[in-house]
Structure 1
């Protein structure tokens, strides 16, 4: 019998963020990215391709039906701030703001080792399904300000996860969701190790 999350697992949507595609320097090359998101207020429409007003620079690796929304546990922000400072990125003294790591949803109470691929987050009007963990790339290293950021994400499991939109509607900050169990075969944290570790050794 597969392991399960604690009975009645639930979480809270603290904030939501959207971003526009803009220039980003990576290894001396000028690329484009929408990794930096900005918090927006009021109810926001969630469609099958994500939050209204959100953009993705490379649809081959971000966005689409299975990666329409990217969620990150807000509990991770303080850890990431400590990591970037300890790795020499001392010029970044301000606390990381929601959306800095590219997350659309800042969640509280739902961690990667508690959620399984296929679980659903039921907000009432909106229902989102966990599809896969985030896999970091070179753009993430550039934004975080140190070269080992992607590796730290894999080793720590603090990756966040992508969501497909099963039921579209409107979301409001402060909304709570209930976790509806899926097949319960692979935790998000386990899927990250399986998918990404081989690329970062």
Structure 2
């Protein structure tokens, strides 16, 4: 059984930077989950965060131990929910969670839609300029969910896998999207994975149209 720590955050203003809700606090007790996400959780830039396919963000807790090893002088920074995640668990990773997986969580049902695409804001908020590319290159990205059944839930209710709907793990999706050279067959495989988000399906489709991989620089470094 995987019992998640649960986090929500409100939009805050930051000097010399755009508003963000990356700073989260742990929720104790019950919370309502709707197709928009957890009650009380906000997103500042809804073009990239939130929405039906990105209602929840999950980041494995074991990745923080690895990051503390990479940055021993900054180890106090690398603890949940430093990456703005809503859920953090031990035992669920990109290798054993698959695109389209549907989990029961309390009264709710949630479905994995895509890996998280690390962005430059993580570099800024954790004061580590190469953090986002490191997460992308290592495959330690976490993943996102849509809510297919609303209701009450809490951190003392486990995430229970109900159905596996594709053969594409989150780790494979990360590899296809971020690590492999141009591969039409793999893009079509990813697009055909049941439950894949509309935005990732569009990205793969545009690669097929343009016959090239998009530039990651703006997302990873903000330029």
Same fold (TM over 0.5): yes
CA distance in 2 between counterparts of 1:32 and 1:82 reads 30
Q: Please, which runs of 5 or more residues in structure 1 have no aligned partner?
A: 1-9
CA distance in 2 between counterparts of 1:93 and 1:114 reads 27
Verify the 8 A CA contact 1:11 1:176 in the aligned structure 2.
yes
Verify the 8 A CA contact 1:84 1:145 in the aligned structure 2.
no
Verify the 8 A CA contact 1:18 1:37 in the aligned structure 2.
yes
CA distance in 2 between counterparts of 1:179 and 1:77 reads 24
Aligned residues: 183
CA distance in 2 between counterparts of 1:175 and 1:35 reads 24
Verify the 8 A CA contact 1:16 1:173 in the aligned structure 2.
yes
* Deviation sequence 1:69-107 (CA, Å, 0-9, x none): 10111111212233233xxxx3x3426332111100112
Matched, 1:12 2:3: yes
Out of 75, 83, 92, the residue aligned to residue 110 of structure 1 is 92
CA 1:93/1:150 → structure 2, altered by over 3 Å: closer, same or farther? closer
* Deviation sequence 1:121-146 (CA, Å, 0-9, x none): 11241111000010011101112221
What is the DSSP-based 3-state SS (H/G/I as helix, E as strand, rest coil) of the residue aligned with 2:79? coil
CA distance in 2 between counterparts of 1:101 and 1:82 reads 17
Out of 23, 42, 62, the residue aligned to residue 49 of structure 2 is 62
Verify the 8 A CA contact 1:68 1:162 in the aligned structure 2.
yes
Verify the 8 A CA contact 2:57 2:86 in the aligned structure 1.
yes
Out of 40, 46, 61, the residue aligned to residue 33 of structure 2 is 46
What is the DSSP-based 3-state SS (H/G/I as helix, E as strand, rest coil) of the residue aligned with 1:140? helix
Out of 18, 31, 44, the residue aligned to residue 31 of structure 1 is 18
Verify the 8 A CA contact 1:126 1:169 in the aligned structure 2.
yes
CA 1:99/1:31 → structure 2, altered by over 3 Å: closer, same or farther? same
Flag as ranges the 4+ runs of structure 1 deviating above 6 A: none
